[in-house]
């Protein structure tokens, strides 16, 4: 088998394993509950109980009670002179949105996923600290991330979803789903502790893109490095568009959400086409979704500025050979090394540690040094 045919076979086999495995896994976990919705104008009158209001409007009892600010059951009488400040229908729609969010979640799977994230990240962290994440081991770790956090445990939750879904839910209904905000807080804490480590090794789409990038590099495909000023500008503009669309009741990511590769039955034709293009782009460009479109990628990049553990350079050991910059899949190592521009997203892949011939690169705590003035001066 020639090199090109082998490359195409492996790329196709990886996609097939992800899709077939996700279909099987989805069946094991079961389908999400159907969404409750308002069928028409609200029916209500003075003195109705929560149970009567629920029955008249085909609403879950807890939604009916919560719409009037009560968490009590069917014997709560409504006073129509004390309607919610933003109107009864708005209150019902907000509580319906929260009810549907809770009903759509498989809490056992979510808890299991967070436990597995903790175990996996605690396994990778010391390996990266010791500079052992390289070559085949790196690829096997990425594959494990794909199979565990994507194929086995599905598209939800994800770091991206905690930002995107929170924005969309609030824009559409004014609701704030507290469990999602708690998950976002955990993910951002991980970014602060260890430099976007959740994106690096735990995001089911991030590790899949990274695996395809490694596959493309092993096949000798040309690597593209887009300037950070371009990629981040696109990402900021897309984030603004996401917020504006959400305020108008739309979710611009949903039709093409690439995380749905782990929920294949939810993929539309447009979504399948977008995922195909994204994975094809990943063969040449490092983590295109993360750099160009991901809402958490943008938020995480900001939080990354105060990370405790990060890639650092010991300039006393550095021989200014540029091996780390050349090995880096993006432009970030050049910015870290020379400190001459804004530092892009660093995904702690370990390429720079493996490439450094003098042991000057580390994944460690503390502030980054600035290079001596003449360190990289051309002779």
**pTM, whole model, 2 decimals?**
0.91
Distance (Å, whole) CA 321 – CA 357: 9
Determine what percent of the chain is predicted with pLDDT higher than 70. 93
Q: Considering only CA atoms, which of 161, 153, 180 is closest in space to residue 257?
A: 161
Distance (Å, whole) CA 189 – CA 197: 10
In the predicted structure, residue 150 carries a pLDDT above the cut 90:
yes
**CB neighbour burial string for 282-295, b if at least 16 within 10 angstroms, e if fewer:** bbbbbbbbbbbbbb
Q: 12-21, 53-62, 264-273: which range is least confident on average?
A: 53-62
Distance (Å, whole) CA 17 – CA 14: 5
Same domain, residue pair 110 and 219: yes
Structural domain containing residue 327: 310-365
Same domain, residue pair 231 and 285: yes
How far from 27 is each of 10, 153, 161, 259, CA to CA, in Å? 26, 12, 22, 17
Residue with tokens 């507290």: 178
Same domain, residue pair 350 and 224: no
The count of domains in the chain is: 3
pLDDT at 86: 60
In the predicted structure, residue 74 carries a pLDDT above the cut 50:
no
Q: 49-58, 65-74, 158-167, 244-253: which range is least confident on average?
A: 65-74
In the predicted structure, residue 85 carries a pLDDT above the cut 60:
no
Same domain, residue pair 124 and 148: yes
Same domain, residue pair 158 and 297: yes
In the predicted structure, residue 106 carries a pLDDT above the cut 50:
yes
- Our measurement of the distance from residue 133's CA atom to the centroid of its chain's CA atoms, rounded to an integer in Å, reads 22
Q: What is the CATH number for 343?
A: 3.30.70.20
Is 261 inside any structural domain? yes
């Amino acid at each position: 088998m020639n090199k090109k045919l082998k490359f195409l076979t492996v790329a196709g086999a990886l996609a097939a394993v992800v899709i077939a495995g996700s279909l099987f896994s989805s069946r094991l976990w079961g389908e999400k509950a159907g969404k409750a919705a308002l069928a028409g104008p609200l029916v209500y009158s003075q003195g109705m109980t929560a149970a009567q209001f629920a029955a008249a409007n085909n609403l879950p009892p807890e939604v009916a009670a919560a719409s009037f600010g009560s968490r009590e059951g069917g014997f709560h009488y409504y006073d129509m002179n004390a309607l919610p400040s933003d109107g009864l229908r708005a209150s019902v729609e907000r509580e319906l949105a929260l009810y549907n969010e809770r009903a759509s979640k498989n809490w056992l799977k979510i808890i299991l996923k967070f436990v597995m994230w903790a175990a996996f990240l605690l396994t990778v962290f010391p390996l990266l600290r010791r500079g052992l994440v390289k070559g085949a081991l790196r690829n096997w770790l990425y594959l494990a991330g794909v199979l565990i956090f994507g194929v086995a445990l599905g598209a939800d939750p994800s770091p991206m979803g905690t930002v995107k879904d929170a924005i969309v839910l609030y824009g559409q209904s004014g609701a704030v789903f507290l469990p999602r905000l708690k998950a976002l807080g955990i993910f951002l804490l991980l970014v602060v502790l260890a430099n976007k480590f959740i994106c690096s090794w735990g995001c089911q789409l991030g590790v899949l893109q990274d695996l395809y990038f490694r596959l493309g590099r092993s096949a000798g495909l040309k690597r593209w490095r887009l300037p950070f000023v371009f990629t981040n500008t696109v990402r900021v503009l897309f984030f603004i568009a996401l917020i504006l669309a959400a305020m108008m009741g739309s979710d611009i990511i949903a039709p093409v959400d690439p995380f749905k590769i782990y929920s294949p039955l939810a993929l539309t034709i447009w979504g399948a086409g977008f995922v195909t293009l994204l994975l094809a782009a990943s063969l040449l460009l490092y983590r295109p979704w993360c750099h160009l479109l991901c809402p958490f990628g943008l938020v995480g990049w900001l939080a990354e500025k105060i990370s405790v553990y990060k890639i650092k350079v010991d300039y006393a050991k550095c021989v200014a050979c540029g091996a780390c910059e050349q090995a880096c899949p993006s432009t970030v190592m050049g910015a870290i090394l020379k400190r001459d521009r804004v530092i892009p997203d660093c995904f702690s892949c370990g390429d720079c540690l493996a490439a450094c011939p003098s042991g000057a690169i580390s994944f460690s705590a503390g502030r980054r040094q600035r290079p001596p003035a003449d360190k990289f001066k051309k002779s």
